[in-house]
Structures are given as structure tokens and as C-alpha cells.
Structure 1
Amino acid sequence: MATVADHVIAALKRSGVRRVYGIPGDSLNGFTDAIRRAGDFTWEQVRHEETAAFAAAADAALSGGLAVCAGSCGPGNLHLINGLFDAQRSRVPVLAIAAHIPLAEIGSDYFQETHPQNLFRECSVYCELVSAPEQAPRILAMAMRAAVEENGVAVVVVPGEIFSHRVDDDTAWGSRPVLPARLVCHPDERGLATAAGMLNAATNVTILAGAGVAGAHDQVIELAHTLAAPIVHALRGKEYIEYDNPYDVGMTGLLGFASGYKAIREADVLLMLGTDFPYQQFYPERAQIIQVDIRGRNLGRRAPIDLGLVGTVTDTLAALRPLLAVKDDRTHLEKSLRHYDKTRRRLDALASNDRDRTPIRPEYVAAVANRLAADDAVFTVDVGSPVVWAARYVTMNGHRRMIGSFNHGTMACALPHAIGAQTVDRERQVVALAGDGGLAMLFGELLTLTQNRLPVKVIVFNNSSLNFVELEMKAAGIVNFGTELQNPDFGAVARALGMFGRRVEQPGDLEAALAEAFDYDGPAVVDVVTARQELSIPPAITAEQAKGFSLYAIRTILAGRADELLDLVTTNVARRILD
């Protein structure tokens, strides 16, 4: 006679799930034993439950289907929370199985007792307790449906003994898969007509594209041609719109390009497509704004808008396109493209190989990794300075993917995201661009690479500091404090774990080391000693930030750390003057 856990696994399999990420524990024993018996379903063991949730998020992002993680009662599932916040804010379908203490002990301050429904409520679209075996099929089905339809996290809390309960009548479990329904959604005729009128009347239209343009690449390019509009992208839109795009003028935001920033500032109509871009200071002050989003609650929450349209980008553009007139005046577009070309050449110059300059420039590291990586490589990116260099130097082509904690903004995501991505496809190249601080947070997951035989390539930007935090301190006029990292030789550590490991200190050695790592048939770590004082300057500097850098310089000298200031100037100012 099958158990509740057996039926859970069967239901997951019917819906395309083939694995669960997690760490075993006594309250999960009934669940993991069902996985063992299933045969064609795998338990992907990691070293920390946070990694299980991160890996599931990357799995869902790459596969496009539901991914599952699990944690034992109390501390076990508490460790899932940060990774689940990342999945929820990245809008990917993840189901979390949160085991719980025995049903009869709930509310008694029992060993390891928490209140999971309260804890997970904020990072999920659905969170419920299975309080009786008979509830399990219905709650599981509702959770799976919520995750795939709302593209978010669903949490099912299950007291451990319920997993092992034997089911007499299995009819309630059904036999149909839970798959996302095809959604067709576009604004009504009145909204479309209003949008067309605004766009047709405008002289300077700029498009701001986010992750919502996924699947609509060609439509957006056609729209840009019609409107003679430069296309600016938010970070999450990069992989979907940057490639094969003659209207691309780069990214905007804190990590963006001056050309993208200026194209938005000079627009008289800004058309936002599938983006909830959060930084108010980068929106235009005088332009009309049209926002298209499938989630109505996103409309106008970042900046005042003149027209909000609820719909998918694909369906909305299909309905809008016939109403638009082709613009003959391409002045705004051509000016924006010239500015982008100038900006791009300056950025590329910073990524050149200075053979006599050490530590190595992080721009150069990202550029070489980009050039050597496979055409369909998956890049996972740590929050902090690695995401800056990835955003500026890793190019998308319609086959590559870039996964990171771009909305939640948590450190330590590159390695666990890489674990999930590589588990989905063990033949595809996966490159983790890791910060030294982020890698150290979940350092034990290097063991997961070896144990699970995952050939992830890890490139460590080793600047012996929490580098982006230092930049934020400089901008605020604060002398760096508490950001120093005493790092090991990460390459030597990798070799001790049975992996490929190299340490690179000279620019001339970088390309050969990365090529060797990429060719290695197994997990590899390349530890690159990079410049600590490299500035990732945003496209627009506020007066307050300029004042902050001045205060930083004064306070650094007064603190007896003039050598640090000299290093900053040598690394950044001199090079830019020569360029």
C-alpha cells in the first residue's frame, strides 16, 4: 500500500518534476525514503538548505518548469528562506516541502518547533499546513497550481508522520499533471488606441525592456523600427533583448551605461515593456510614460505613469502594432546609437589586457570569460561587483542564459545557482562568476560539485574585500571599515577537494588558465586576484555622491590610509585619462 509521500512523488513526476534539492532529516524520512523507492526520481543532496532553494530557483529559471526543494522541521526549513525569497522575487515556480514537528505537538513549544506558515508567508504565493493525510492531495495540487500559474514559491508544510501514512483510497490523488495554462492577455481597444495615439504623436520614443519581453524579441525589434526608438534594457531584460538588436543602446540603472541613461532622459515618451525597474532616480522627469505589464499591481509603483496597460508583452504588441505609424524622423535614435557606440568603446578599452598591470582588472576577467565560454553557456552571477562586470562584458546571443539574484540582491547565489543549472543539463557549460565574499558564505557547496559530479566552472573575483560595499561606502563619504577579507588560495583549496584549481595573479596567464578550466572534464575553480579599487561608476553621479567621494578622500588621508587613496587614483583615474 502506497504512502502519502509515494503519492506526492507520483504527482510531481506527472507534472514533469524529476528531482528534489535538500538535506535529509528525521522529519523528512518518509519523504526521502519514497524518493529512494521511486527509482527514476532523484534526491539532489547539498550542504546547506539555502543552496537547495537557490538551486531550485535556477532549475526553474532554466527548465521553465516547476522545481522542488525540501527542508526538515525547524532549523532545516528555516535555512530555505533566503533562497525562497530569491525564487519568489525572480518569479520562478518553486515548490518547497517544509517538514514539521509531530502534529500532536504543534503549539507545545516542542523541540525544533517553529510556525512555518507565518515564516514563509512573505516569500510565497501559497503556504498551507497539511493537518491530516486526507488533505494532502488537495493542498499539494493547489500549491503546485499556485506556483506554476503565479510564477512564484508555494510552500507545503507537512508534519513528518503524515509522509508515512498509508493511503487506502488513492482516487483523491488523481492522474492528471499540473501544468501552466496558456495565457492570452492584452489591453482593451480603448487602452490600445490611447497608447497608439501617444506613440504616434511623440517625436522621441525610448523603449525600456525588462524580463517580460522574454519570447517577444522579434516583436520588440520590429516595434523599435516602427517608432525609430532606441531600446534600453533593465538587467533582467539583458538576456532576452540585447542580442541581434540594431536598436540596443545598453542598460540603465546603477550598473548601466551613460548611453542608456541619456536615451531615457531625452525621451518625450518612455514605453516600459515587462519591467518593474525599481530605481526612481533613473526615470525621466518630463516624459510621458506608458507601462505594459502582466501584473496590474506593478503599474505606476516606481514612477508616475500616464498610461498603464495590463497584458503580456507578446499579446499587447501584436494588438498594438497595426495601430502605429512608421516614423521617418530618426534623429533621436541615431543620436542615441552614436552615444552608445562611444560608451561601448570606452567600456571595452577598460577590459584590455594590461600585461604589466597587477592586480588584474576585473573587466578583463569578465571579457576573457565571455570570449572563451560556449555559445550556449549559462552564467550565474554573484551580487556585488561580479554582477557589474557580467552586465557590462558578458554578451547574450539568444542561446546563453544569465541567472542571478537580480531582484532580491543576496550574496552567495552564484555557486548554488550554478548547482541547479548544471543539474538540469550536465552537458551544458555552466560558469559561476563568484565574488570572494559570496563564495566564502557557502564555500561547502564546492563539495556538492565533486560529490554530485557537476562540471561547473567557478571564476573567483578575488579582491580580498567586500568590494561593492566599499564602493557604497566611498559614495557615502565613509572610510572603508569591516570589509577586509583574508582569503585562502581558492585554487589550492579546490585541488584539495579533488577539483581542478588554478590561481592567476598575472594578466598574461589568465586566458590559458580559463581555457584549461573550461576544457577540464569536471568541476573547476580559477582564483583570479583582481584589482580592489576598480570603480564600477553608475551612468549618472549625483551631487551627493560626488560630495561623498570627496569626503571619502579627505577622511582616508586623515585616517593615515593615503596609500589606499593613491591606489584608487592609479587604478581608475590615470587609466581613464590615457584613454
Structure 2
Amino acid sequence: MATSKKKVWYKVLDNKNELPEGRVKTVTAAHKGICLTHFEGKYSALDNKCPHQGGPLGEGSIENGMLRCPWHGWDFHPQTGVPPGGYDDGIETFEVKEENNAIYVGVEEEVPHETTVSDIMVETMVNWGVTKVFGMVGHSNLGFADAMKRIEQKGKLNFYGIRHEGAAAFAASAYGKLTGKPAACFSIAGPGATNMFTGMWDAKVDRAPILALSGQVATQVVGTGNFQEVDLVQAFGSVAEFNHRVQSDSRHAELMSLAIKHAILKRDVSHLTFPDEVQERKAKPHAKAKTPEKRMTTLEIAPPKEAVDDAVALIRKSKRPVIILGHGARAYKKQLAAFAESLNAPVVTTFKGKGLISDYHPLGGGVLGRSGTPIASWFMNESDLLIVFGASFSNHTGITPKKPIIQVDFDPLALSKFHKVEVAVWGEISRTLEIFEEELKSGINALDQTKEVAERWKIWKEEKAKRLLETSDNGVSSIAIFDAMNQLTPENAVMCVDVGNNAYSFGRYFESKEQDFLMSGYLGSIGFALPAAMGAWTAVGDERPVVAVAGDGGLCQYLAEITTLVKYKMPIKLIVLNNHELGKISKEQRAGEFDVWQTSLSNPNFAEFARSCGAWGKRVENQEHLKAAMEELFAENGPAVLEVITDVNLI
């Protein structure tokens, strides 16, 4: 004999007068959606889903004595749920009782949650160390979102609801650049997923691991032109190194494991898309989440002996070696500084590698290239050997091919990518450095260039002091902003920079100490700074300050994310250089002998906007107030925005 399930009563209205006669309302009893009606003096409870297409009956109305579905106008009796004519597609009803003027609905006790495919995959994801997810919950990803909710409630995952999926992908990209580990971005099908595309490309070209998770419409309607239907596997085929649709019969834990393993080892993009019907499917009886235990190999690959011998021979005979560090050397700052000290060789960086050696280190020479200092270019030009670690040789950096070059990189395809080099060394950087140092214990002929580094810095600082005297009635100069930042920015901050004139000035004038720097390097995507700062904060928490520097053009792309900072109490400090212009584009138009056209901007008062969102905000319009305002900015405990009106010509 079947055992009847226990009935549980849930209060759905504190006061029955909240629902007037002749009205309907959606309420919830546990997780059950209820259409509560008040008709002919009686309160009734019906299932909230219309049997036609699941329309929310609680959003409908009572017309001519019948409850009408708001989607397609199907009618039901507001007390019995029976349609006109008594057809068999009526609506389930539930008992209602009144107590102390409140309304209660009785529903069967919920059965314990059964493990779903999404549960298995989320647990596997967390086991592999992917614990930060940026995204937006929506109708085609609800099952997977529900699984993440359960893991978050256990304290194993943090989900950050953003205002635009593009910001989610940039945040995850920045997290990967800073930590070398993947975070996830999460979206619905169709436009939510395609919004993530730019940030995914940013991660791909800057070799940052990232996991993209997208919902998808039900498999049965794929190919029919269904609402928000996009073939996401095909759409992301160009950006994702690992790119799969999750199916009912997939090996679900293994599929998630492979996605994350590819992201980490390839330093690339992995994408999984989840059809709607798969997300809530019950897991197979013995399905278990997987872990990375014994699934990952060490990456400490030693370079070939012949390459080592050739490199060591070049270093031994060099008088004026210069070391160049790119973003790929980020994890080896201390070892590379020690190697430079053993050679007394200047160290310069690419823009993406800014901060890999402090500008206050006796051998630090600043940034090379278009965003760089004359110190770095001078030492490159005076060198007789360039030793390059983890750099891509982009045009923006301008590493000259006219000097003998030793290039060290973990990626064999990056070696001699654009032109031949004297010695291409394929190996993991720290292992390669150990071998170099052992081989170079004797026989080094390099000159001590430490004194020259100090001399070149002296010349550059004198030049910067002259530029600092240039003022304007149209706004503050960029050099004044970065001079103030040099004095006040916390020495261990993570700093996120946008694209445009603000970035060029940042690279040239800001003097790094122990900060880390994040930017949209190869993709050069405007709008990067603010969402990147969100990703950085989730990586470092309260252990390090996070600072974003943006122009007005870039900030407006994701301006609404200031509300995200407030919601999650992210104490990010945002400095926006507002010149009411896409100044970098105006400059390029002039350089190309075009008319300056359509680069002017109409901006809000960013400080007022920040305050309206619940953040601290202040605007500075002249240089004498700059330093005091910046001190206030860094003294704030929560999210804060400092807007500086700048002169577009003083960069």
C-alpha cells in the first residue's frame, strides 16, 4: 500500500488583504510556484504553470469569471483550475487555509534533492580549483546555476553576478593573467554567450587560462530557429581550444576535467555549453565528481643541451647584455632579478610585462616600446646581446631584430615567430635559469652597467620634472596624475589599465615598485580595466589593494559594473581620466593625415554616477586639488571613483 506524502503548510501572504477580490498573484510555497486567486470571497491556490506552454498564471487576470493565462489567453476557473467545457488539461490545485488573517498553502513535503549532471560537473570544477565564477543567471542556464548555488552554500565557490557578460569574461581573463589559474564566466544561450566572446579572445591571445560556461536551448529545438538559438559550439570554434556540447550520455565529470586541464596546460580557452534538458538530468547511479590528482604533469621542462650551450657561449662573450621580460615571465620575477644581478645587466620589460622588475631596482630600466621610457630603448640600442624571456616580439614593443638575441619560451611556436634569432631556447623559464646559472658560474665578461642605469634614470626624471610644469586651463596633465600616483599608490597593489592615451601615459610615467599590472595586451580591448579589477580582487581579496586606471571612453563600456563593486563590497579604487574624447583615436587620425572626426564624447559626471551607485566619488578639475583627492581615494575602505578632468594634449 502506497504511503501518502506529508503535507507542509507555507505562509504565502502575511495579510490576506494584500490580495483584493478579483485579483491573482504569484506566490511560492517552498520551491513550488503557486497562482493565488481571490474570487467570490474565496482564496484558492493553483499550480502557477499553464499546461499550454507554462505561462505564469499568477501574472494573468480574472476576466468574466475565468482566470486567463497572460501568454496565450487560455481560460481556467480561478478556484477549481478546470477549463471551460471540462477538458482534461486543467490545473492542479492545493489546499488553502486562513490563520490570524494570513494565508497558508499546503503542498506535499519536498523529496530530498537527487544529484544531477550539473551537480557532478560543478563539484568536479571546484575540485580542479575553479572556485570563482562571473556571470548572469538566466532562463537557459538555471539548472547549472542551481548546482552552483548548492556548492556556494557549502562555502566552496564564489559567484559574482555581473551586469554584462562581456565584463564576466574580462574578469575571468584578468584572474587567469594574474594567477595562472582559470576562473569561469557564465551565461545564458544566444546573446549572453556571444557577449562573452571578446573577453574570451582577450584571454586567448594573452595566454590566460579561462573556462567559459554557457547555457543552451533544448536540443530538440536546435536548428529550428528557436528563440535565442545560436550554435555555440560552432560560434566558439575559433576562440576555444577545448569546445564541447554537454550531452545526456557524456562522461560528465571527465568532460569537465578535460576542459579545465586544457585551459591550464594550454593556457587557453575552454568552453562547455549545456542544453537545457541536460542540466537537471539525474546523474547516473554511480557517477562521482573527479579531482586533478595524478592528472597533471609538471611543466618544468629543461631546454635541449645544444640550445643551452649556444646560449651560454653568447652570454659569456657579451660585454653589454640586456634582459627583456615579457608577460610570459610573470611567475619568475625573483629568479630573473637574481640572474640579472649575476650579470649586472639592465632589465627592461614589455608593456604587458610592466612591473616584473621594480623601477627602483638598481638594474630596472622600465618599459620598452611605444608605451615605454627612453631608458629602456637606450639600453636596448647600446646592447650587444638581448636575452628575452617570455615575450612575444609584438610591433608595439619593438624589440630590435638587429641585435643578437637569445629567446627563452615554454611555447616552441613562440620561438623565432616573426624572424630568426641567434638562439631559440625551448624550456620552462625557472628550469632554464637554473641551468644557465650553473653553466655561467665562471667566465662572464659582462660590464657592470648599474651606474649607467642610475645615470639614465636621472636624465629621464629631469625630463619628467620639466613636463610636470606644463599646465593647462583645459584640465590636468597625465604626467601630473601619474606623478601623484607614484607617491600615493600602495606599493603592493594590483593595477589594471585600460586602452588608449591613459595606457600610454601609464606605461611611460608610472614607476613600478612591487605592483602587478594587468592589461588587454594583444587584443587591446577598450573597457578592460574595470571588469579586470573585479577579477583581480576575487584573486587577492583583502590581501592586496586593487586599482583600475581608465579613460572615459573605456570606462563607459562597462560603467554599470560600479554597481557590482558596491553589491559585493569590492574595495576597488578606480581612477578615470576624463578628457571628453577618444584621444588616442584623434591622435591616430592626425598622424594618418585624416580629419579628426567622431571622437568627441558626451560623458556623465563619473563621480556623481559613482555616488548614485553607492560608491565613494570625487571629481578633480585642477592640479592643486589632485594629491589631496587621491589621498582620500586610497583612504576609503570601500569602492571608490576619482574622476580627473584632463587635457587631451598633455599626455
Give the TM-score band, short-chain normalised: 0.7 to 0.9
Counterparts of 1:241-320 in structure 2, within 5 Å, are 241-242=357-358, 245-279=361-395, 282-320=398-436
How many angstroms does 1:453 deviate by? 2.1
Distance between the aligned counterparts of 1:154 and 1:317, measured in 2?
31
Q: Does 1:99 align with 2:178?
A: no
Shift in CA distance, 175/411, structure 1 to aligned 2, threshold 3 Å:
closer
Distance between the aligned counterparts of 2:335 and 2:641, measured in 1?
40
Deviations 1:523-563 (A, max 9, x none): 2111100111124xxxxxxxxxxxxxxxxxxxxxxxxxxxx
Counterparts of 1:21-420 in structure 2, within 5 Å, are 21-38=134-151, 39=153, 40=155, 41-171=157-287, 173-176=289-292, 181-242=297-358, 245-279=361-395, 282-324=398-440, 325=442, 327-328=444-445, 330=447, 334-335=451-452, 337-351=454-468, 358-398=474-514, 400-420=515-535
Distance between the aligned counterparts of 1:42 and 1:329, measured in 2?
51
Matching residue of 2:124: 11
Check the 8 A contact 1:103/1:131 in 2, yes or no.
no
Structure 2 residue runs of 5 or longer lacking an equivalent are 1-113
Distance between the aligned counterparts of 1:461 and 1:356, measured in 2?
15
The farther-off stretch of 89-98 and 223-232 is: 223-232
Check the 8 A contact 1:4/1:162 in 2, yes or no.
yes
How many angstroms does 1:177 deviate by? 5.6
Distance between the aligned counterparts of 1:70 and 1:281, measured in 2?
34
Distance between the aligned counterparts of 2:558 and 2:446, measured in 1?
53
How many angstroms does 1:234 deviate by? 0.7
How many angstroms does 1:29 deviate by? 0.6
Name which structure has the greater RCO, CA cutoff 8 Å, separation 6+. Answer: 1
How many angstroms does 1:185 deviate by? 1.3
How many angstroms does 1:93 deviate by? 1.9
Matching residue of 1:519: 635
Check the 8 A contact 1:248/1:337 in 2, yes or no.
no
How many angstroms does 1:454 deviate by? 1.8
Deviations 1:197-250 (A, max 9, x none): 122223332221112333433433343344443222111222222356322222
Name the TM-score, length of structure 2 as normaliser: 0.77
Check the 8 A contact 2:360/2:513 in 1, yes or no.
yes
Shift in CA distance, 283/175, structure 1 to aligned 2, threshold 3 Å:
closer
Deviations 1:136-177 (A, max 9, x none): 222211101101112221111221211110113243533556
Shift in CA distance, 5/351, structure 1 to aligned 2, threshold 3 Å:
farther
Shift in CA distance, 458/160, structure 1 to aligned 2, threshold 3 Å:
same
- Three-state SS of the structure 2 residue aligned to 1:232 is strand
- Three-state SS of the structure 2 residue aligned to 1:297 is helix
The farther-off stretch of 259-268 and 274-283 is: 274-283
Amino acid at match of 2:146: D
How many angstroms does 1:291 deviate by? 0.8
Q: Which has the higher helix share?
A: 1
Check the 8 A contact 1:279/1:302 in 2, yes or no.
no
Matching residue of 1:575: none
Check the 8 A contact 2:580/2:600 in 1, yes or no.
yes
How many angstroms does 1:27 deviate by? 0.9
Check the 8 A contact 2:202/2:523 in 1, yes or no.
yes
Match of 1:490 among 584, 606, 629: 606
Shift in CA distance, 153/179, structure 1 to aligned 2, threshold 3 Å:
farther
- Three-state SS of the structure 2 residue aligned to 1:121 is coil
Check the 8 A contact 1:97/1:157 in 2, yes or no.
yes
Check the 8 A contact 1:84/1:153 in 2, yes or no.
yes
Amino acid at match of 2:221: E
Matching residue of 2:82: none
Shift in CA distance, 316/301, structure 1 to aligned 2, threshold 3 Å:
same
Check the 8 A contact 2:248/2:281 in 1, yes or no.
no
Counterparts of 1:457-476 in structure 2, within 5 Å, are 457-476=573-592
Structure 1 residue runs of 5 or longer lacking an equivalent are 536-579
Name the TM-score, length of structure 1 as normaliser: 0.86
How many angstroms does 1:489 deviate by? 1.4
Amino acid at match of 1:19: K
Amino acid at match of 1:185: I
How many angstroms does 1:332 deviate by? 6.4
How many angstroms does 1:327 deviate by? 4.1
- Three-state SS of the structure 2 residue aligned to 1:379 is strand
Check the 8 A contact 2:578/2:646 in 1, yes or no.
yes
How many angstroms does 1:351 deviate by? 4.0
Check the 8 A contact 1:250/1:257 in 2, yes or no.
yes
- Three-state SS of the structure 1 residue aligned to 2:559 is coil
Distance between the aligned counterparts of 1:139 and 1:94, measured in 2?
15
Shift in CA distance, 531/12, structure 1 to aligned 2, threshold 3 Å:
same
How many angstroms does 1:394 deviate by? 3.1
Distance between the aligned counterparts of 2:491 and 2:199, measured in 1?
28
Distance between the aligned counterparts of 1:506 and 1:330, measured in 2?
46
Q: CA RMSD in A?
A: 2.3
Distance between the aligned counterparts of 2:356 and 2:294, measured in 1?
27
Shift in CA distance, 483/220, structure 1 to aligned 2, threshold 3 Å:
same
Q: Does 1:502 align with 2:618?
A: yes
Deviations 1:475-528 (A, max 9, x none): 222332111011121111222222211111011111121222222232211110
Q: Which has the higher strand share?
A: 2
How many angstroms does 1:382 deviate by? 0.7
Check the 8 A contact 2:211/2:260 in 1, yes or no.
yes
- Three-state SS of the structure 2 residue aligned to 1:488 is coil
Shift in CA distance, 460/174, structure 1 to aligned 2, threshold 3 Å:
closer
How many residues get paired? Answer: 533
Shift in CA distance, 348/410, structure 1 to aligned 2, threshold 3 Å:
farther
Distance between the aligned counterparts of 2:209 and 2:128, measured in 1?
12
Shift in CA distance, 311/445, structure 1 to aligned 2, threshold 3 Å:
same
Shift in CA distance, 10/348, structure 1 to aligned 2, threshold 3 Å:
farther
Check the 8 A contact 1:149/1:181 in 2, yes or no.
no
The farther-off stretch of 53-62 and 400-409 is: 53-62
Shift in CA distance, 424/318, structure 1 to aligned 2, threshold 3 Å:
closer
- Three-state SS of the structure 2 residue aligned to 1:235 is coil
Deviations 1:449-485 (A, max 9, x none): 2222222221110011001112222322233211101
Check the 8 A contact 1:202/1:269 in 2, yes or no.
yes
- Three-state SS of the structure 1 residue aligned to 2:356 is helix
Amino acid at match of 1:416: P
Check the 8 A contact 1:14/1:177 in 2, yes or no.
no
Check the 8 A contact 1:130/1:157 in 2, yes or no.
yes
Distance between the aligned counterparts of 1:303 and 1:336, measured in 2?
29
Counterparts of 1:444-459 in structure 2, within 5 Å, are 444-459=560-575
